[in-house]
Structure 1
Amino acid sequence: MLASICRRRRLATPLRQILAGGGAAATNPVRSIPESVLLSHGDYSTAVAAASADPEPCPATVSYLLSCGLSAAAAAVAARNFRIRDTDRANAVQALLREYGFSEAEVARTLRHESVLLILDPDRIIRPKLDFFFSLGFEPRLFAAEPHILSRSLDNHIVPCIEYLRGILGSDDNVRTAACRVPRALLADPDKVMRPAVEAFRRNGLSKESITKLLLIHLGLLMVPLDRIDEAFDDMKELGLRVTDTGFLYGFRVICGLKRETWRRKVALYQSFGVCEGDVLRAFKTQPTILLASDETINKRIRFYLDVLKLEMGHVMAHPMSLSLSLEKNIKPKCAVLSVLMREGKIEKKLNLLASLQCNSKVFTERFVQRYAKDVPDVVKAFEGQIKFQGFGDREFELLSHRMTEAKKL
């Protein structure tokens, strides 16, 4: 079924796009932003046009940009698009960012990715935007992550954008949460991009509450092309997922974010470990993010469970969340804790290992770290990564299957 969806999606690509070397298979719809989104209604295009690009970069501009942390290549490219004629103004821009709480690293990152800010009037153009965003509770890290926002027009883009999102998401807190997760979504035009996307969600059966939740999950879905949105709904229907199902929104976010070749390749990767297509589908329905990790990451996670923990692939696929958790930051520290506790005889071998590993950090900490911290101080060191996991050795767990565990609960 998964393969048939991929084939159907490929055939759905217009022939003229394929011949042009493009099409939906060539880009990630969630990440791609139309050029018009970036250049319309903003101070960026006005400032650059006023500066008039020079065929050769201005040495003084290059030198200043180098002092801001740009690489030589990036400084040369930027200096062809504009010229810093007033270093006092450029210095004032940097001082303004620091005044609003930008760290030196955030100032450098902001100017490295949007160096044209250095030629904008700091008090007339940049300060009002910072005042507006900070009044809503935004922090400097938003602009360090997506500094192009500060080049957009406050009246023509930023305010209408926030007002539209407030109407959809319901509160300033939700707007801030969603935007901080995907800052580049604030570059989208509210009338030409956001509104049509929301209408497409409604047309395909999502309720107002579901749209709010979907955009809190990933605000970048507002920038997905309309035909791709319709196609993703068809894909979800073919997978047997209805808009009212619990996992629909998370699955929809993943479907929209994957290239077609990437989808096929990841399914094939799981199948290379002896997993049938049906098992991949069931795991996807439970934990859609199993298809978001890179091929290398998926391979490393599976090899760890099979080779180090000595688990069977069936056990792993029955706990798909374990395939979405970081080995280094999550799984291995937890394994280190369990290894210490097993060595000290504090836990029995009868333990559903994967269920324990995939529980959230708060629950795991209460159950295995805080509970034993006084008697076994090493559990704290293990959880913090100071004691590395070296395997369970001959002290293997007597694994309980997922079904056995559920039966015991009943």
Structure 2
Amino acid sequence: MLRLVHTRLVSHVTTPLRIPTTATAASPSRLLQLPFHHGLSHHISSSTPNDSSSLTVHFLKKSCGLSSEAALSAANKVHLKTTKNPRSVLTLLEHFGFSKPDITRIVTKRPQLLLASPDHTLKPKLDFYQSVGLSGADLARLLSGIPGLLLWSLAKRLLPNFNLLKTILHSNENVVLAVKKCPRLLTSDLPNVLLPKIESLRDYGMPASVIFTLLITHPKSLVKAADQFENTFNAIKGMGVSPSTSMFAHALGVFSRLPKSTMEKKLENYLSLGWSQEQLLGAFAKHPYCMTASDEKVRRNMEFFAEKLKWGPAYVSAYPVVLSLSFEKRIVPRCLVLEMLASKGLVKGDVKARHLMMGEKKFIENYVIKYEGEVPEIVDAMGGNKLGLGGWEKRSLGVDGYEHLDST
């Protein structure tokens, strides 16, 4: 059964998606034109004199905040003959709001930046990032994670890529949202990596609004290798998810980030809980994020649904969003509230999936504020402070809201 389901999930459709090849292949000379600041190369050496090595390690520890081990490792990548330029680099980063921990992370990952020209190499990029809306903590977080973004050519790569993305996403704010999720959008060869995929998606009937959603929510799926992208696209299309719906964008994003082994394990988990092939495929098509919930979370939620609410796979697969809800912070408190109200005859009927999927504000207005005068203890129940439901609420999962893949 597992093999059958997995085949349905990852098999190709009859007419597979084909990513067009670019008209002009990259020549060897083009590949050698790296967009890095060429002035760095003569400063970097693996063989360091003793005096230079001592100066380098001392500066990395005292001025950059590196540990002894990290400083020794960084000193193998760069050596300082003077601290004049490195100090100017640190001053520049501080001017742009980088904290000492930010600078430590940057230097640890890319010590070569200490030898870059503050005025000609670094400041133009920092000005650019700030001008498009990346500043303060956002900029520090981005560059401390990928400090190499300060070494790519502004004129040949960063600015052209940003402008290309803006033609699709329409505003600086939207481009920044996508870049935060996938910094590679700024450094990849987008005309050859991104545009052919978008062209193929349009040819298959994906409207601009869905492409927009895909690029904003799951941009990493669009910078994967062409063959990986084709396989993922064709598998989801073969499951019957229409490319014209926004759900296709979410399914593509989720599926492209799950390794085959992880997907197989998750499928096996669902099947072991009594789900059928059709129920599993249907649930994924409606709510792809049911595949990102941990196996433990799925099992615990399903156990609760079966024992307390009498929901089986047929019902849950029709409302798969409930599998992504927090057990401790959403499911149990709401069930407690509804159970108390039902015991007082204030509400009728069993708990339904709509009760758990309802927005927080609406649920509180309809079931807490409305009845707190008659049943004041529901306020405590909503906060998870009231015992009930056989102690289910005491099982902490430590997960809030929906469980999605991160965001890296």
Q: Is the 8 A contact 2:9 2:236 kept in 1?
A: no
**Is the 1:90–1:118 Cα contact (8 Å) retained in structure 2?**
yes
In structure 2, distance between residues paired with 1:89 and 1:371: 66
Corresponding residue pairs, total: 365
| SS of the residue 1:275 aligns to | coil
SS in 2 for 1:293: coil
Instruction: Report Cα offsets for 1:349-389 as digits up to 9, x if no partner.
Output: 63535322223334344445555678888767766x6x457
Q: How much does 1:88 deviate?
A: 4.5
Match in the other structure for 1:42: 36
Based on CA coordinates, which of the two structures has the bigger radius of gyration? Answer: 2
Aligned AA for 1:2?
V
In the other structure, the counterpart of 1:52 is 45
Partners of 1:297 and 1:61 lie apart in 2 by 49
- TM-score relative to the length of structure 1: 0.73
- Paired with 2:255 and 2:229, the residues of 1 have a C-alpha distance of 10
* Counterpart Cα distance in 2 of 1:287 and 1:356: 17
The 5 A counterparts of 1:132-171 are 132-139=128-135, 140-145=137-142, 146-147=145-146, 148-171=148-171
Q: 2:116 aligns with which of 108, 117, 120?
A: 120
Counterpart CA distance in 2 for 1:295 and 1:120 is: 47
Gapped regions of structure 2 (runs ≥ 5): 13-29, 394-408
Q: 1:50 to 1:134 in 2, by over 3 A?
A: same
**Could you tell me how far apart the structure 2 residues matched to 1:380 and 1:40 are?**
61
Distance 1:46 1:280 in 2: 56
Alpha-carbon distance in structure 2 between the residues aligned to 1:376 and 1:65:
63
The answer to whether residue 183 in structure 2 is matched with residue 183 in structure 1 is yes
Does residue 318 (structure 1) correspond to residue 318 (structure 2)? The answer is: yes
| Residue 3 of structure 1 pairs with residue 3 of structure 2 | no
Whole-Å Cα distance in 2 between the matches of residues 163 and 98 of structure 1? 28
**AA at the equivalent of 1:210:** V
Counterpart amino acid of residue 195 in structure 1? L
Q: Percent identity?
A: 30
Cα pair 2:232 2:256 within 8 Å, conserved: yes
Helix, strand or coil for the counterpart of 2:278? helix
When residues 7 and 201 of structure 1 are mapped into structure 2, their CA distance, relative to the original with a 3 A threshold, is closer
Note the residue ranges of structure 1 that are not aligned, 5 or more in a row. Answer: 10-35, 397-410
Does the 8 Å contact 1:62/1:76 carry over to 2? Answer: yes
1:143–1:150 Cα contact (<8 Å) kept: no
Counterpart in the other structure of 1:130:
126
User: Bigger CA drift: 277-286 or 119-128?
Assistant: 119-128
CA contact (8 A) 2:44 2:112 kept: no
The 8 Å contact of residues 61 and 71 in structure 2, kept in 1 or not, is answered as: yes
2:269 partner SS: helix
Match of 2:15 in 1: none
Cα shift at 1:235: 0.9
CA distance in 2, matches of 1:207, 1:222: 16
- With over 3 angstroms needed to count, the CA separation of the structure-2 counterparts of 1:184 and 1:63, relative to structure 1, is farther
1:363: which partner in 2? Answer: 362
CA pair 356-187 structure 1, distance change in 2 beyond 3 A: farther
Note the aligned Cα RMSD (angstroms): 3.9
Q: Which amino acid aligns with 1:320?
A: P
**1:127 partner letter:** K
**CA offsets 1:124-181 (integer angstroms, 9 cap, x no match):** 3222212212212123324424433223221221101101101121222221222223
Mapped partners of 1:362, 1:352: distance in 2: 18
The 3 A distance-change label for structure 1 pair 335 and 56 is: farther
Question: Structure 2 length as normaliser, TM-score?
Answer: 0.73
Segment of structure 1 superposing worse, 367-376 or 130-139: 367-376
